[in-house]
Amino acid sequence: MTDKDHPDNTGTPSSNDSEKQHQSDVWTSGPEVQGGGASRQQSRAGGSGGKTPDMNSDEWQRDIINRLAFASLNEQRRSRRWSIFFRSLLFMYLFALLFYFPSNWEENAITTGKHTALIDLDGEIAANSQANADTLIQGLRDAFKSKNTVAVILRANSPGGSPVQAGYVYDEIKRLRKKYPNKKLYAVVTDMCASGCYYIASAADEIYADKASIVGSIGVLMNGFGFVDAMKKVGVERRLFTAGKHKGILDPFSPLKKDEVAHVKGLLESVHQQFINKVKEGRGKRLSKNPDLFTGLFWNGEEAVKLGLVDGLGSSSYVARKIIGVDKIVDYTPRQNYLDRFAERIGAAAANVVITTMGLTQLNMR
């Protein structure tokens, strides 16, 4: 028998076997789908040696459409799940930020060892601002009460404000100094400590400032606007009805009256004298005899040292390190959470609109 009479035993696949293997791979290499049961079973049958489906048949086309549809649906589901996941994370983060964490959670962290307490007096001193008496007094009380507090620094940066709020803080500092005689309070000026801010600072044991800080402005003012001449030019008549002779005092749409102006000036002089007395009580013999000291003028830090308004030049870290001897500083300033701060700003803005619209004025130490 010749070689031609025997089959090929070299292991090389015949052309028919290659064609069948190729047809089988077309169906077995694709992803498994969850739908199209009849077409899927037929596809598997074709891949396991059954009859090869006709690619031009309706069943094969439906199977391809099913595969594409389910692949797109699965991709949309995965995308939706990830979107929900990240939105949930964002919601939990905002919820924790606004409601869960306390406003001063960093300051309330566990502090061990001796330290210098710090309270910030920042911005206008007013009942509806961050620098209000209640907030400052709370921080001062917490700082003095702590057993690890060696001394307290009041870091001041304010143009002044309400004499009432300043008086509250001044009196509380005096009370705390008497209650804790071994803990000194140092006022440290950053950019500015004028008028009502200096009212508060004068209650400290010592005051420090930068050489370029603005210090002083010991005076009282009350301001507003008058629209009498403007109303005459536009032909507007003011009609004001009051029960009480001076109930409409300082009405911006009515002419000033001499007796009412004298009354207001007397009020300002009285508050100014209260201010002067508190500064003299706090600073004592350290004040110079300069006649301009209580006229409302202000000076830089270097000149303030010469006038006795300031005891020395230095920052908060300098005072903690060199004067107190404890350079570890812990912030005791009460902080509002973001939600409360936002709500209060809306209320403050509404109140300011009412005050401006009605032409009202406020008494300020500036």
Read off the tokens for 209.
């400032």
Q: Does residue 52 lie in a domain region?
A: yes
Boundary-marking domain end, from 100, 123, 145: 100
pLDDT at 270: 95
One domain, residues 52 and 172:
no
Q: Fill in the amino acid letter for 45.
A: A
For residues 157 and 51, membership in a common domain is answered with: no
Say yes or no: 64 and 172 in one domain. Answer: no
- Residue 66 within a domain: yes
**Same-domain pairing of 42 and 181:** no
Mutual angle of helices 133-145 and 163-179, in 10-degree steps: 10
SS3 of residue 186 by DSSP:
strand
Read off the pLDDT of each residue in 231-237 and give the average, rounded to a whole number: 87
96: amino acid identity, one letter:
A
Domain CATH code at residue 195: 3.90.226.10
Task: Judge if 149 and 208 occupy the same domain.
Answer: yes
Q: Is residue 47 part of a domain?
A: yes
Q: Is residue 75 part of a domain?
A: yes
Count the domains in the chain.
Answer: 2
Q: Is 33 left (phi over 0), alpha (psi -120 to 50) or beta?
A: beta
Residues 124, 210 share a domain: yes
Last residue of a domain, one of 69, 100, 131: 100
Is 247 annotated as catalytic?
A: yes
Please indicate, yes or no, if residue 26 is contained in any of the structural domains. no
Of 173, 123, 122, nearest to 143 by C-alpha is 173
Same domain, 45 and 178: no
Output the pLDDT for position 74: 80
Q: How confident is residue 139, by pLDDT bands cut at 50, 70 and 90? A: very high
Residues 61 and 186 in one domain: no
Tokens linked to 318: 């300098």
Do both 59 and 206 map to the same domain? no
Q: Which residue has the higher pLDDT, 243 or 105?
A: 243
- 14-39 confidence digits (pLDDT tens): 444 444 444 444 444 444 444 444 44
Residue 11 maps to a domain: no
Using the structure block, give the residue that is written with the tokens 């709370």. Answer: 138
Q: Taking the CA of residue 34 as centre, how many other CA atoms within 13 Å lie in the half-sphere pointing to its CB?
A: 6
Q: Which residue is catalytic, options 247, 265, 306, 322?
A: 247
179 noted as active-site residue: no
Q: Residue 334 belongs to what domain range?
A: 115-221+294-364
DSSP per residue over 162-178, as a string?
A: -HHHHHHHHHHHHHHHH
Q: Radius of gyration (Cα) for the chain, nearest Å?
A: 41
CB of 323 within 8 A of CB of 231? no
Q: Are residues 94 and 207 in the same domain?
A: no
Q: Is the pLDDT of residue 109 over 60?
A: no
DSSP β-bridge partners for residue 151: 116
Q: What percent of the chain clears pLDDT 90, i.e. is strictly above it?
A: 50
Q: If you average pLDDT over each of 99-113, 138-152, 221-235, 241-255, which comes out highest?
A: 138-152
Residue 179 inside a domain? The answer is yes
Examine residue 235 and state whether it is found in any structural domain, yes or no.
no
pLDDT score of 22 = 43
Task: With beta carbons less than 8 A apart as the criterion, state whether 31 and 71 touch.
Answer: yes
Contact status, residue 187 vs residue 140, Cβ threshold 8 Å: no
Residues 161 and 190 in one domain: yes
Q: What is the pLDDT of residues 175-219, one digit of tens each?
A: 999 999 999 999 999 999 999 999 999 999 999 999 999 999 999
248-268 pLDDT per residue, tens: 888 888 888 999 999 999 999
Question: Residues 195, 202, 213, 316: which is the catalytic one?
Answer: 195
Instruction: Please compute, for residue 97, the number of CA atoms within 13 A of its CA located in the half-sphere on the CB side.
Output: 8
Task: State the Cα–Cα distance between residues 141 and 169, nearest whole angstrom.
Answer: 11
pLDDT band at 280 (very low <50, low <70, confident <90, very high): very high
pLDDT surpassing 60 at residue 356: no
Q: Mark whether 157 and 194 lie in a shared domain.
A: yes
What mean pLDDT value characterizes the chain?
A: 80
